[in-house]
Amino acid sequence: MACKIFVNKEENTMLTALFDYIDNSNPGTRKVDKVIDILKENGVVRSMQGRSGIYATEEDMMQLRYIDDPSLLPGLLTSTLVTTIKDPATNQDTNVYEIDVNSLTLNFANAVKDRNADITYSNQYELDKN
């Protein structure tokens, strides 16, 4: 791997895998499907029965927001609120968002190894406001 990305002093495997792919592929050759596979493998997006596309819950969005950090790749993902469901794990209502990967942002991104990729937030509010 080219680099490890840490969030609050712990390696974030989703970010590390995503930016390893970006660092080790040439601009113009990167595939949206590969990004989706990485996000699925790390459990932050999933398919929804009876719908095309990929989706994330409110909890997943907390992880996905790291990608939008100005030191990483703002604009790679967009989210659209589609529904609210009961989370089977918590029995609480949660928003569900459809996630889209911007192929232009993906293909024109610089390698993260060329930037400072250590992200530190002192609290959830700092993450949410980014």
Give residue-wise pLDDT tens across range 18-72: 999 998 999 999 999 999 999 999 999 999 888 999 999 999 999 999 999 888 8
Q: What percent of the chain has pLDDT over 70?
A: 83
Cα separations in angstroms, 85 against 23, 80, 91? 36, 15, 9
For residue 113, what pLDDT is reported? 52
Is residue 120 within 8 A of residue 126, CB to CB? The reply is no
**Sorting pLDDT into bands at 50, 70 and 90, what band is 75?**
very high
pLDDT, residue 122, reads 52
Query: What residue ranges do the domains of the chain occupy?
Result: 6-129
Whole-prediction pTM value? 0.81
